[in-house]
Amino acid sequence: MIEKASDATARSRWAPAPDQLPGDLTELTGPIQGTVVLPLHLAWSGLRTFGLGDEELLLGMYRIVLLNGRREDYTCYLDAAQLIAHWPILRKMLGRGVRTAWEDRFVQCVVRE
């Protein structure tokens, strides 16, 4: 008989593994201005170049990195202050597994309504 994990302990297969998340948000030291070209392992289809001065492009890049990235991608392309500032919008652009993984690890990402 196969036992199902409780909802509280079940982890989505789409969520990053806990060891792939940064240990602390201060590790996120990515660019805050200029243009970023994401590598193919992150953005293999569609737009790869993002002007960070355009909020829509910044949000699109963060979404791609959060959904497809690993620890080294998070630290290279994400900035902690930008992530926190845009989290209320970003969280709606992510699947539940990714959103929950980040909010469970970082209290700064929890949206209080």
Residue 21 covered by a domain: no
Torsion angle (degrees, nearest 10) of CA 38, 41, 45, 50:
-10
Residue 6 covered by a domain: no
Question: What pLDDT score was predicted for residue 110?
Answer: 87
**Full-model pTM:** 0.86
Domain total for the chain?
Answer: 1
**Which residue in the block uniquely carries the two structure tokens 């990714």?**
98
Q: Which of 11-15, 86-90, 101-105 has the lowest mean pLDDT?
A: 11-15
40: alpha, beta or left, given left = phi > 0 and alpha = psi -120 to 50?
alpha
> In the chain, which ranges are E strands?
35-37, 49-51
Residue 62 covered by a domain: yes
Residue 87 covered by a domain: yes
Residue 78 covered by a domain: yes
Residue 18 covered by a domain: no
Q: What is the mean pLDDT of the chain?
A: 88
% of the chain at pLDDT higher than 90 = 74
Residue 113 banded pLDDT, cuts 50, 70, 90: low
Residue 17 covered by a domain: no
Domain span at 56? 30-109
Contacts of 29 (CB under 8 A, 6+ apart): 75, 79, 80
Amino acid at 24: D
